[in-house]
Amino acid sequence: MTGKLMIFGGSGFVGGNLARIAAQKGWAVCIADNRPLLHAEWWSVNVTDKDMVEKAIEAVRPTAVVNVAAVADIDLAERERDLARRVNVEGARTLAESCARWGIRYVFFSSDAVFDGNGRQYTEADRPNPVNHYGYTKWQAEQAVLQACPQAAIVRLSLVLGFPVSGGNSFLASLESKLEQGRAVVAPVDEVRTPVDVITLCECVLELCESTFTGVMHIGATDSISRYDLSRKLARRMGYSEKLVEPQTSAGGLPGRAPRHKNGIISVALAQRLLATRLLSTDDGIKRAFSERQIRAGALNVEKENDYDG
């Protein structure tokens, strides 16, 4: 089907990757964010401004809207609660209302932080019980989105692995930067996540944009891993000493760090059953993330050589 895809928060880590992959698959891509993305149509839009959102959507008339705009820093959301509410909840509601009004497919990004992390494995049917304000805003947003736009799809994520296209908050890029500087990385041993590589995630989201699925879907790896073990695994993959990764228990806490849910173990059975996109193991997802960076670096070098030859 494809068509025109409008990505709110599209110049960030996930949004930038989604824009690039969507363009490769034939979508006409429009970025709605506070800064442009190379080779994409751009609208300067603040999701908390209803008039600005409505004017942009009316002008673009996209086939599908994906909303990755969020105050995703859990500690910032805890400190700036009103900001987190306005962006994460009211912004999501505004987009849902606009998409419902224009009959546009809407895909909203949520988080496993809606759960308290005391369970063993969470399905889409489990009742949320967040332990921090970020998780609470995402739970509120899910309800607001489905109330305003019942045909929307909500994607719950645990942790996304990959590298930015042009900027944004990437766990993997941040980890690599610290390791390059020889800095110790403190990683919780009792916080388990179900990571997904950004390429597989984007393929799932684009599939959802063309599907009729409604409601909540978990997307992640086919297995789970602690943040400590994951950081050590990534350090090895990047050629750094595992000793740079130091264990930290949530019980001890860190100054200024908001509470975290422990078991971010989400079941991906629904996605495996309904999506054609194959979900990967954590190890295969890591391989894909690094392989994609090598491919992009090679393509960039060719582009530079062509510019020089010209």
Please provide the DSSP assignment of 129-140 as one string: --SSHHHHHHHH
> Is the predicted pLDDT of residue 236 greater than 60, yes or no?
yes
Annotated domain spans of the chain:
4-299
Q: Which of 61-70, 170-179, 297-306 has the lowest mean pLDDT?
A: 297-306
Please state, in angstroms and rounded to a whole number, the distance separating the CA atoms of residues 300 and 296.
6
Distance CA 151, CA 108 (A): 11
pLDDT higher than 60, residue 98: yes
Which residue type, as a one-letter code, is found at position 209?
C
Report residue 288 CA to chain centroid gap: 16
Q: Which DSSP string do the residues of 211-273 spell out, in sequence order?
A: S---EEEE---SS-EEHHHHHHHHHHHTT--GGGEEEE-TTT--TTPPP--SB--B--HHHHH
User: Nearest CA to 260 among 50, 111, 89?
Assistant: 111
Return the SS3 of 179.
helix
pLDDT at 158 over 60: yes
* Distance (Å, whole) CA 209 – CA 5: 9
Residue 195, strand partner residues = 159
Instruction: Provide mean pLDDT across the span 74-84.
Output: 97
What average pLDDT does the chain have? Answer: 93
Which candidate, 206, 195, 199, places its Cα nearest to that of 291? 199
* Secondary structure of residue 304 in the 3-state scheme: helix
Q: What is the pTM of this model?
A: 0.94
Report the alpha-carbon distance of residue 137 to residue 131 in Å, rounded.
11
CA pair distance 45, 18, nearest whole angstrom: 18
Q: How far apart are CA 278 and CA 68, in angstroms?
A: 22
Secondary structure letter of residue 86 according to DSSP: I
For the cut 60, the answer to whether the pLDDT of residue 251 exceeds it is no
Report which of 164, 132, 110, 161 is spatially closest to residue 256, judged by C-alpha positions.
Answer: 132
Q: Can you say how many angstroms the Cα of residue 278 is from the centroid of all Cα atoms in its chain?
A: 18
pLDDT at 253 over 90: no
In this prediction, residues 114-139 reach a mean pLDDT of: 97
DSSP state of 295: H
Spell out the CATH class of 4-299: alpha beta
* Average pLDDT of the segment spanning 48-76: 97
| CB distance 48 to 27 below 8 Å | no
